[in-house]
Amino acid sequence: RAIVRDLTGVAEQNPALPPGRVPIQEVDPTVFETRFLRKIKDLGEGHFGKVELCQYDPRGDGRGQLVAVKSLKPESRGQLWREIDTMRELYHHNISSALIMEYLPAGSLKDYLPWRKHQTDLRRLLHYALQICQGMDYLGSQRFIHRDLAARNVLVENESTVKIGDFGLTKSMKEDKSYYTVREETDSPVFWYAPECLVDCKFYPASDVWSFGVTLYELLTYCETSSSPTTVFLEMLRPIQGQMNITQLVEVLMAGRRLPCPPHCPDAHKKENCIYKDKHVFPGVFIRAAF
């Protein structure tokens, strides 16, 4: 069975190749055969499936490349094919490629940040935020809405580079539309959603900006579970017998209540809060404005 592979790597290894052409004498590098995949361990599990660390070892000598393989629960298979279609259309430095992916040992920002608090200063957090913006800007320019932007879906390539991943919920806007209407809704990341998504099931590029705000909150709280959006919103809602409904959440948001400003959140207009002093000024004022 053919699965789309890491197109980033292919492009980097073959810079001279015109797009869409592969030398005939070689094995097609865009095709992975599942029979050569050997599972090593589980990497993570999301709403719809799981990601496993595998070795791709077609020669059978145990020296094959390490890859992260995403597979979905049988009921979500249609979703996987949609995600593959989405990935085919996207190529950008801050967008991760799927669905057999390069293995990123550091995992997502949610796996990484809680353990790196002391090595990760504000400047670095803002640099991650900037890269997320750049990836999202590209996604928007291609008329896609991600719909699941969250720290758990931002992968850490190395300590200075992050990539947006998990395009399982990503939708393409039709030419004549500026939003996407969701028909079948399964298990949504509601605490990352803007009111219009919760009330009307409409997703605009600006709805991703709301999720970016929540992701920024996660960054500035170092993805600590005790102050995660889910924990904090559930405390606000005080669900009756563990039951929370969307109406309650909408009421809270409409009343203007938001996630609290994280401790150590930078104040506006401080020079040292700019990532790049000359060109890309990204001052703390944006950060405060988000809460």
Whether residue 48 is annotated as binding a ligand: the answer is yes
Instruction: Tell me the pairing of strands 37-45 and 49-56.
Output: antiparallel
107 binds ligand ADP, rule: CB under 6 A: yes
218 binds ligand ADP, rule: CB under 6 A: no
What does the binding site for Mg ion look like in residue numbers (CB under 5 A)? 46, 153, 166
Query: Is there a contact between 20 and 11 (Cβ–Cβ < 8 Å)?
Result: no
Comparison of 186 and 245: residue with beta carbon closer to ligand ADP: 186
Helices (H) and strands (E) in the chain, counts: 9, 10
51 binds ligand ADP, rule: CB under 6 A: yes
153 binds ligand ADP, rule: CB under 6 A: yes
139 binds ligand ADP, rule: CB under 6 A: no
Among residues 209, 215, 242, 243, the alpha carbon closest in space to that of 229 is found at 215
Residue nearest to ligand ADP (CB): 46
Report the catalytic residues: 148
SS3 271: helix
69 binds ligand ADP, rule: CB under 6 A: no
Nearest distance in Å: CB 50, Mg ion:
10
Among residues 150, 160, 170, the alpha carbon closest in space to that of 99 is found at 170
144 binds ligand ADP, rule: CB under 6 A: no
Among 12-20, 100-108, 232-240, 242-250, the segment contacting ligand ADP (CB under 6 A): 100-108
Helix H or strand E segment including 30: none
Q: Which residue among 5, 32, 37, 48 contacts ligand ADP (CB under 6 A)?
A: 48
Q: 114: buried, middle or exposed (CB in 10 Å: 19+, 13-18, 0-12)?
A: middle
Angle at 269 between CA 263 and CA 272, to 5 degrees: 75
92 binds ligand ADP, rule: CB under 6 A: no
Residues in contact with ligand ADP by the rule CB under 6 A = 43-49, 51, 68, 70, 101, 103-104, 107-108, 111, 152-153, 155, 165-166, 168
